[in-house]
Chain A
Amino acid sequence: GESVGLHLPTLSVQEGDNSIINCAYSNSASDYFIWYKQESGKGPQFIIDIRSNMDKRQGQRVTVLLNKTVKHLSLQIAATQPGDSAVYFCAENSTGGSYIPTFGRGTSLIVHP
């Protein structure tokens, strides 16, 4: 079946470095992608989204890149801080369908001071 997944389950970086979290998706009908952050003991929190008519979108210290040719999504975090330590999920959805995203398993980001 079609699925959303992440390349790396754990990513360790030093404070101040840039972090890149990758995600592959396989559903060619997906046209809306979301990144969530989940801190320990809390629910997932929306970070940033991107629609398929874009290949890049920037937020505060975060950038999402979408490569539809190879069905790849990435989240870049600039100047990573200890507070960025969390599990990051990518999710995909189709805006013409249900309002239910399909979540990947998550990547754990560990930021060392």
Chain B
Amino acid sequence: DAEITQSPRHKITETGRQVTLACHQTWNHNNMFWYRQDLGHGLRLIHYSYGVQDTNKGEVSDGYSVSRSNTEDLPLTLESAASSQTSVYFCATATSGRAGEQFFGPGTRLTVL
């Protein structure tokens, strides 16, 4: 069965360190998204990609970057982790032909000390 995997599932890091969260999908979807979820804010879009070599900033992109070198993967990098980036991060995918129906991964809980 097609799926989305995220790794690691839990990560503790220190302020100032670079962290990369992995997202891998076997749906063969063109569209991939990264969200963070915090209490009181719901899901907020960080970055998204409509295909290989395409990346776009979301509403909370500062301090984050992504790259899309193939269809399956969209790694999210925190260039210099800050305590404000402690959150649960979700990767999602969607087909090009069905706007809005997204498939989510299991999430990564990141703690920045």
Contacts and interface: CB of A to CB of B under 8 A. Distances in A.
A34 B42 contact: no
Contacts, number: 55
A110 B23 CA distance: 31
Interface residues of A, number: 24
B42 A46 contact: no
Secondary structure call for the B interface: strand
Interface residues of B, number: 24
Interface in A64-106: 89, 91-95, 97-101, 103-106
B107 A101 contact: no
Q: Which of B92, B96, B101 has the most CB of A within 10 A?
A: B101
B96 A99 contact: yes
Given A99-B94, A99-B100, A43 B106 contact: yes
A45 B99 contact: no
Interface of A: 32, 34, 41-46, 49, 89, 91-95, 97-101, 103-106
